[in-house]
Structures are given as C-alpha cells and as structure tokens.
Amino acid sequence: MQKNYLKELAKAVVAIKDPVTAEEFLQNILTPKELEEVAKRLQIFKLLYKGMPQRKIAEELNVSIGTIGHGSRELQYGKKAIQKILAKGW
C-alpha cells in the first residue's frame, strides 16, 4: 500500500468527531465482513489488555488462538498506538 493512501485514511479518521459519523464512514469503506473483523480485533486488544486468558477470548469472540496470538504479539511488540488508546479507558 502506498504511504500516501494510508496517510489520507488516517487524516480522514482523525477528522471524524462523532461516533455516528465514524460508524457510517466505516460502513462506507469496509465490507460487512471486513467491518466485523476489524471490530473483533479491537475487542481482542481490549480483552488482552485487561488480562483475559487467550483461550477465553477465543471462545468468547469465536476466533482462533492464532488470531489471538497475533493480537498479543502486536500488543507487546507492535507500534504503541493501540496501547495508548486502551490506556485511555477503552
């Protein structure tokens, strides 16, 4: 993906000031399946951050342990933006 596209997307997201518009924007640009996957990934991060065991997360969200493992690695070793967001009480 070209960096310009990612930067434009990030700017569009930051420009959204209310949850209703944000939800509509996501529904506009993502397919229903993509939207479901992104929403689940956020839940994975939230539950990992709260200390929930990976197997329980997998059962609760009906996702594979591999998906949870990827989220765990990103939370530990990836860019720190998700940690900053979660630390704000998400």
pLDDT digits (tens, 9 = 90+) for 29-74: 999 999 999 999 999 999 999 999 999 999 999 999 999 999 999 9
Q: Tokens 């996702």 sit at which residue?
A: 63
The answer to whether the CB of 66 falls within 8 A of the CB of 43 is no
Report how many domains make up the chain.
2
Residues 8, 29 contacting (CB under 8 angstroms): no
Same domain as 37, residue 53: yes
Q: Which residue has the tokens 């009480």?
A: 89
Grade residue 1 by pLDDT with cuts at 50, 70 and 90. low
3-state secondary structure of 7: helix
Q: Which domain holds residue 26?
A: 1-30
Q: Is 20 exposed, middle or buried (0-12, 13-18, 19+ CB in 10 A)?
A: exposed
| pTM summary value | 0.85
**47 and 86 housed in the same domain:** yes
